[in-house]
Amino acid sequence: MKLEIGFKMIQRSHKYPDEYHSALQHSEFPIAEKSPYSKKRVLIGWEWKNTYAPPSQRERRERWIETSPHRAFILGTTGSGKTFFQKSLISRFYKSGYNCFIVDLHDEYSQMCEPIQEKFREFLNKNEKPEGLKVLTIRPLFFQKYSQEEDKKSVYFQIPFSEITAQDLIDFCGLDAGYSDIIIKHKESCDTIEEFLETVSAKEKAKPLVRAIENIIENKVIGDGNVIDFIKEFNEGKIIVLNLLGYESVINKYYQVYIKHILAKIFNARGNAVRGYSGSKLKSEIFIFIDEAHSIMPKDANNMAVKEVVKLVVEGRKFGLSFYFSTQKLESVNTAAYDQSKYLFISNNNKNFSDLDKLMKFSGAYDAHWRFKNKLSEMLYAMKNFGEWRCWGLFPEKINPDHPRLELFFPFSPVCAHYSTSEDKKR
């Protein structure tokens, strides 16, 4: 499979901002291929074979990562390039035939539906025209209450009452376990949230539950009027972005249940496809990107919805679910999420990671062998020498303190489809 892009190769100079470097690829660069070990892999950038040698002696080579189901962490402070790097990964996985789902807390990914190389137009080969990726941006309907203006680019949706579990309703209500029995007892006998409210209103000592249900109805958290078939949209080749901009304003953590609900649908649909069961099937493997993982999957969360998300993350690999988490606070993320991660990416603009303790904990070897510490120190020192260049450190596979593999690479920019206007053919 060849990369559908025709950028001319240009020399790096002060004229171009960081995002141009190593981004302007020639059309002969492959985007995905089978590795020598018959595993599919994707090209994400370039690296120097001998990173720590003097610049005149360095040899440049391609940087690939395998696409077999895995988990990865992307660590970086604000402004370190996490979003730009993830857009690059998303576009390459998508162009390689995978589904992509993004949990977006800051409305940074919905614009991928536009021709993102518009600013690169002067570098395109003749008769080429950029074409945006197929993106569906969705937003829970209850966010309308917290938004000052309507989000016209997003499709608002709700979870229907018939699809939520008794535990979902418990999480939505945010009450203690004392009301669980009432919810579990009457949930299955009701067809709508309004009918459920009428049923529990007749119960004694259920006023807090009644108020919680009234708030759910008032905020339009549950309903049958705005339902999206996520699996159908994925199978039609769309990238789905869950836009949670303003999540900090939501007093009740409704959005956590929404995330769990969508991930559970993906998990079950992939399970049906892999096992040959009846029901909704997700045809292709999927890459799931979760922004600000320390907010979505906090370390000490007692919410059952968060625990269910962690469970889906841990078990998702068997059905072809890969997870990429970005965060500024590795120590605040649920440990079950980053345990057994295949890749760890760290930005050279990341000032917070000069303290090696976090990386030692990630490796599972807090008292790591001196070789690992020395190798890591060398890499961090080399990263600082690149200055404004957006290089990234890559920790491939599970870190072995005795034989560490720590590498530097330079990521390519996001890609979108290109077609020749002379052929009048869209891809």
Q: Which CATH number is 355's domain given?
A: 3.40.50.300
Place of tokens 């917070």: 352
Residues 358 and 253 in one domain: yes
Residues 258 and 378 in one domain: yes
Q: What does the DSSP assignment read for 107-138?
A: S-SGGGGS-TTGGGGGGBPTTEEEE---EEEE
Is 9 inside a domain boundary?
no
pLDDT given at position 284: 93
Name beta bridge partners: 287.
Answer: 100, 322
Q: What angle do CA 401, 405, 408 make, to 5 degrees?
A: 135
Task: Give the separation between CA 215 and CA 206, rounded to whole angstroms.
Answer: 14
Residues 286 and 237 in one domain: yes
Q: What is the count of structural domains for the chain?
A: 2
Residues 204 and 315 in one domain: no
- The domain in which residue 214 lies consists of 161-218
Is 103 inside a domain boundary?
yes
Residues 281 and 342 in one domain: yes
11: enclosing H helix or E strand: none
Mean pLDDT, consecutive 10-residue stretches, the chain (427 aa), reads 36 38 39 60 74 59 84 83 86 88 91 60 58 86 77 87 89 82 88 90 84 90 89 95 88 86 96 93 95 87 86 92 89 77 77 51 50 64 62 65 66 61 43
Is 1 inside a domain boundary?
no
pLDDT given at position 98: 92
Q: Which of 164, 162, 282 is nearest to 233 (CA)?
A: 282
pLDDT given at position 427: 36
pLDDT given at position 380: 67
Task: Give the separation between CA 220 and CA 215, rounded to whole angstroms.
Answer: 8
Task: Give the separation between CA 29 and CA 14, rounded to whole angstroms.
Answer: 25
Helix (H, G, I), strand (E, B) or coil at 174: coil
Rounded to the nearest angstrom, the gap between the alpha carbon of residue 175 and the centroid of all alpha carbons in its chain is: 30
Q: Which of 394, 326, 395 is nearest to 365 (CA)?
A: 395
Is 11 inside a domain boundary?
no
End-of-domain residue from the set 176, 193, 218: 218
Is 12 inside a domain boundary?
no
pLDDT given at position 176: 76
Residues 112 and 177 in one domain: no
